[in-house]
Structure 1
């Protein structure tokens, strides 16, 4: 576990980043990582004095097996409220299919590595209305990777948790390589580039610190983007 800022921690056991926000009464988990990583994730929490019983809610940045696949297993251990954008709720509950890569073998590999089981109930998280218990964070609609992708912004600390809107795998900032809508993804990235983002927390790769919005601007200005 790494401390990102006061009351914000990064859990490192999953193949994608999972964040814990410490509130006055309980914890908020942002994304869950994949199913195979859940036991290690819970052990990592316990090693640092946090427990699943302390979590009051889970907010999902986007519905895919890598970042939200662990949700069903966690809820079996103990039910909590789950929030996601209405456009992504159908994927989480099984009403809509999970987005998959093209190609038979690519689909098989992903299903094997990242199994996904639907959950029963997800509460709509509307932009501009933070879930109860998550009051200091602004909920932003940043579609592109999925139709209902969300980002979460702390305006005081200037921290943006951006899901797969932007990735930093290998320390190389990039737009998501497999969006459901590339034009919409870029529009969302352009919107967050105008914000005062000092610390960028993507789902993939290390956290980017120190005037992160400048790195986003540079990325968008690149002729290769």
Structure 2
């Protein structure tokens, strides 16, 4: 699997271009991200934009990139309503309005997205940061695109936004501990391949400790 990471601004989420055809998350800096994508592929080769959740720092550039490339936009069905809400999408924090586009594809847990070369991304519903938060797992390369559910070194996503839920994120992280992960591609921060399973287990311990879950 070929993965290219883009991070174009301090407040941007990470964006990942996979096999030259699928983009995970888009950040805020539309023009800068499009320029980086066009250094790697013809923009019209982009087929799909997958949003790990509804927050503005992950979604703001999606509509413009979709219009320029013709790519479809996918998000979990449980985050659609929040996507269009100024406060719930966190767009207010950026002095902006929530996105108005309608997703082309509504995702659900357990679905798969083919990405070429016999590889695919498995949709793992991981509510807690938002109701429709997802992670994406590629089993051949053992890669996890973890969005804002877990981060390296035992960190976890916030649950104090609208739709956040501490019990749910703890259960979601526990689900991720069952995966065989070689490389984690988080929504923020650096990619890691350093004993990732152990790092996710630390995230689960952190969640249980913070939220007093037995």
Question: TM-score, structure 1 length as denominator?
Answer: 0.80
> Deviations along 1:104-123, whole A, 9 cap, x unmatched?
xxx85x132x5532103431
Unaligned runs of 5+ in 2: none
Aligned Cα root-mean-square deviation (Å): 2.3
Q: Report the equivalent of 2:64.
A: 73
Equivalent residues, number? 202
2:27 matches 1:33: yes
- Where do 1:39-78 residues align within 5 Å? 39-47=31-39, 49-78=40-69
Q: Aligned match of 1:83 in 74, 77, 85?
A: 74
Structure 1 residue 192: Cα displacement: 0.2
How far residue 175 of structure 1 moved from its aligned partner, in angstroms, is 1.0
CA contact (8 A) 1:42 1:51 kept: no
The answer as to 2:187 corresponding to 1:192 is no
Aligned partner of 2:105 in structure 1 is 123
- Change in 2 beyond 3 A, CA 1:155/1:54: same
1:69-148 equivalence runs, <5 A? 69-92=60-83, 94=84, 96=85, 98-99=87-88, 110-112=93-95, 115-131=97-113, 133=115, 136-148=120-132
Describe the shift of the 1:81–1:46 C-alpha distance in structure 2 as closer, same or farther (beyond 3 A).
closer
1:153 Cα deviation after fit: 0.3
Deviations 1:50-90 (A, max 9, x none): 23211001111101100111112223324321111111122
Deviation (angstroms), 1:196: 0.7
Deviation (angstroms), 1:100:
5.8
> 1:104: which partner in 2?
none
Provide the secondary structure at the position in 1 that maps to 2:113. Answer: coil
Report SS of the residue matched to 2:49.
strand
Moved more, 186-195 or 120-129: 120-129
Query: In the alignment, is the contact (CA less than 8 A) between 1:83 and 1:131 conserved in 2?
Result: no
The 1:100/1:32 distance shift into structure 2, 3 A limit, reads closer
The superposition leaves residues 5-27 of structure 1 with CA deviations (integer Å, 9 ceiling, x where unpaired) of x41221122421001111xxx60
Dislocated runs of 4+, deviation >3 Å: 131-135, 222-225
Whether the 8 Å CA contact 2:82–2:89 is kept in 1: the answer is: no
TM-score by length of 2: 0.84
Change (3 A) 1:118 1:12: same
